[in-house]
Chains A and B, each alone.
Chain A
Amino acid sequence: MSEQRLRSAAEALRRSVAEVDVMARLEQLEGRRRRYRATSVTLAVLLVAAVTGAVALVAMRSDRQQPAIGPTTTAAVPVTAGTVAATIPVQGGPSGVAVGDGAVWVATSGADRGRVVRIDPAGNKAVASVAVPGGQAELAVGAGAVWVASFSDNSVSRIDPATAEVAATIPVGRQPSGIAVAAGSVWVANALDDTVTRIDPAGNQVVATIPIPGQGSAFSLAAAGGSVWVSGNHGLYRIDPAGNRVTKVDVCCGEVAAGAGGLWMANGMDRTVLRVDPASGRVLASIPVPPAAAPEGPFHIAAAGGAVWVTSETVEPRPGDASLLWRVDAATNRFAGTLRVGTVGRNHISPTVAAGGDGTAWVTVADADAVLRVRP
């Protein structure tokens, strides 16, 4: 039965791809190859200049396979991750969230101009809102400000938490998709450039642009144990803030978050949450999350107050597909439950999550134009 379904599904795949114009694609590829060659020459020149300037650029190549850690399956126990304590309407497709400075900060994606909304956790209400450039955004709170990395605007906006106004907008690399505040700096992972931008919050100035080896190596970023951790397709890299030195750590692959006593990675490939020791960079635990039929992930991750929260991913959703929130108990390193937080529409935006110190999760559900407050 499943054999037959596999064969007919393969046949359906054949039909759906059959109409793609191969010759047109070949021409596009030619164009890309020419541009790539031109860029490589420029890069080589820059590299020579850098080396003669006595700057050592370590280009590490890594295509290694991640050794399997622990079991990848677990009995599906229908336990709930928590209960929804409040549903807060936030218009415009909320797609990023952070907790800090006595408030919850939510970024909405909009068309090309997003907003950041301040939620007062005492009243579970949106109390202020400010326009920021660009679409989907990631946020971090620290150094006396809320920092918003705008995915499509290639910039970071600094918001004054008291007035909820944009105080500065700082250009960074392409597709900034990870941000954290640590060691007196703001750190931004630029997904398309494979770099990390270091910003000095005193002058809102870029003080360093740190290359991360490998293509697609800088998607996600977190600060733990005195280091900044950058995650991408090639695994985890550790930046020492003292000299911005980059070293490779043998853990792969997914978004990272710091909190709840450690560093955590949402490994969507193996459907696990990894607990990483921020001192040694070793994996302390590999925690399977139960397979769920529709959504994939874990994808986004947040940790605080003894709980680690991860959300499901929707690559190409159909209306009605479930969005899930999973919880891991940091005290026992065990999976603690699943909660359906909504459905996903055609906007392709997966739920995102931030963790509060009191053990609650704040979850954005873009399709419902809402932020959920979830208690374990």
Chain B
Amino acid sequence: MVVSEARAETDERTGERFEAFYVREYHGVVRLAYALSGSRLVAEDIAQDVFLRAYLDWQRIRRPAAWVRKVTVRRAGRATRRRLLEARALARLLAGRAPAVAELPAHDAEVWRAVRALPRRQAQVIALRYVADASVAEIAETLGLAEGTVKAQLHRGRQALAARLGGEVDDE
């Protein structure tokens, strides 16, 4: 059976099984991928690709939650990657499978579109902050940046978003 095979794969450091990790993290990773790729079709493709890599390397990845987020934000922001995924997702759609992720209301979609128009680093930190609810320290660790850099990127990103979406800057 499929699930029992998954159970056998445990992370020795935390004792966590891949299955439990996947169930806990999957939705969050799809959200990140959707926010940064702009496509609900592509979001699940990215998430599954990233989790597949995590699964294959399960024994070697030390902090899997940070690792899947890092790889997801990198992949979701890559235009060339999106092109392939877009085609793949379209082929699936033509085969009659609709996306399981529901479409965002226009008002909210506009926000993520504005985030994607930011310089890549800013888009990544904004997505990690708001979509993954990560702290400055967690974002710094995930992206391998100094905390000061994360703060500065967050600040600039918020400013740019305020300019684009209207309203003043809220810097916590």
A residues with a Cβ closer than 8 A to B are 1-10, 12-23, 25-33, 36, 72-73, 136, 151-152, 175, 177, 191-192, 216, 219-220, 231-233, 253-255, 266-271, 291-294, 296-297, 299, 313, 315-316, 318, 348
Contacts and interface: CB of A to CB of B under 8 A. Distances in A.
B38 A220 contact: no
Given A220-B80, A233-B80, A315-B37, A32 B111 contact: no
A267 B158 CA distance: 23
B82 A315 contact: yes
Contacts of B5: 30
Given A2-B162, A315-B86, A316-B41, A254 B34 contact: no
Contact of A175 (B2, B48, B87): B87
A33 B48 CA distance: 10
B23 A23 contact: yes
Given A6-B126, A13-B35, 8 more contacts: A1-B167, A2-B170, A9-B111, A16-B103, A19-B102, A20-B100, A25-B26, A27-B3
Contact of B100 (A8, A19, A299): A19
A296 B102 contact: no
Contacts of A175: 84, 87
B52 interface: yes
Contacts of A72: 119
24 contacts: A1-B165, A1-B170, A2-B168, A2-B169, A6-B111, A8-B108, A9-B104, A10-B35, A13-B34, A16-B40, A21-B100, A22-B22, A26-B22, A30-B6, A36-B56, A191-B83, A216-B84, A219-B80, A220-B80, A268-B79, A296-B116, A299-B79, A299-B83, A315-B38
Contact of B48 (A10, A28, A177): A28
B114 interface: yes
Which of A191, A220, A267, A316: most chain B CB closer than 10 A? Answer: A316
Interface of B: 2-3, 5-6, 19, 22-23, 26-27, 30-31, 34-35, 37-44, 48, 51-52, 55-56, 75, 77-84, 86-87, 90-91, 100-109, 111-114, 116-117, 119-120, 126, 130-131, 133, 158, 161-162, 164-170, 172
A270 B19 CA distance: 36
Nearest to B5: A30
Contact of B158 (A2, A191, A231): A2
Nearest to A191: B84
Contacts of B41: 316
Secondary structure class of chain B's binding surface, majority of residues: helix
A186 to B, nearest CB: 21
Contacts of A15: 102
A313 B79 contact: yes
A7 B169 CA distance: 14
Query: What 5 A-B pairs come out closest when comparing CB atoms?
Result: A1-B167, A268-B79, A3-B170, A9-B111, A12-B108
Nearest to A215: B49
Contact of A232 (B80, B90, B130, B165): B80
Contacts of B48: 25, 28-29, 32
Contact of B78 (A19, A27, A253): A253
Contacts of B170: 1-4
Nearest to B89: A348
A347 B42 CA distance: 15
B79 A253 contact: yes
B56 A1 contact: no
A17 B130 contact: no
